[in-house]
Amino acid sequence: MTTAKAPAAKKAAPKTAAKAAPKAPAAKKEEVAKDIFAMPSFELPNMDLSTQMMPEMVRDMAEKGVAKARENYASVRAAAEEQNAAVEKSLDTAREAGMELNKKALDAAQANVEAGFNFFRDILSVKSVGDAIELQTSFARSQFDAVSAQTKDFQETVNKGAQEIAAPVQEAINKNLDAIKAA
């Protein structure tokens, strides 16, 4: 049975081949494809606005928009310059505060070293163990008080410096925020 169907399939194949349309040359297909997908070419009219009349309202709106943009740019630029000046002032203040803190640290270190040398000199001249213990206790108490006072002074200097550093920037920010609220 399979042999009987095979010759029938062979006979049908030539009939479908005879009915197929003749093939177009490859070059002609490419031209057709180019024509289908090609963008149409349009010529834009000459739009020389200097020679044509723009409606007065449009021209006024454009001029007002440009003027407003220039005004906004000028105010933003001025605000940025103020911020830069405030930051520079803060950096100068930070440098000065750092120098003051360094001076205080050096003064404290010098005072502590001198106190240590004085204690060492005094301990070498002690005649009894009781005097040495009394001298040690007195030195420890005085050093504790000195270090506490130095720490308090450092803390005050740091707080004062931080406030002085932040003040110009905070001032400029508040001024700019007030200007924005007013606008």
Residues 25-54 have pLDDT tens digits of: 555 656 655 566 555 565 656 655 554 556
Please indicate, yes or no, whether the overall pTM of this predicted structure exceeds 0.75: no
**How is residue 148 written in tokens?**
């506490």
Q: How many other CB atoms sit within 10 Å of the CB of residue 86?
A: 19
- The residues near 111 (Cβ < 8 Å, ≥ 6 apart) are 146, 150
Of all residues in the chain, what percent are helix, strand and coil, respectively (each to 5)?
A: 85, 0, 15
Confidence of residue 148 (pLDDT cuts 50, 70, 90): very high
CA-closest candidate to residue 180, choices 81, 75, 84: 75
Question: Cα torsion for 22, 28, 30, 35, to the nearest 10°?
Answer: -110
Confidence of residue 157 (pLDDT cuts 50, 70, 90): very high
Q: What is the pLDDT of residue 179?
A: 78
The end-to-end CA distance of the chain, in Å, is 97
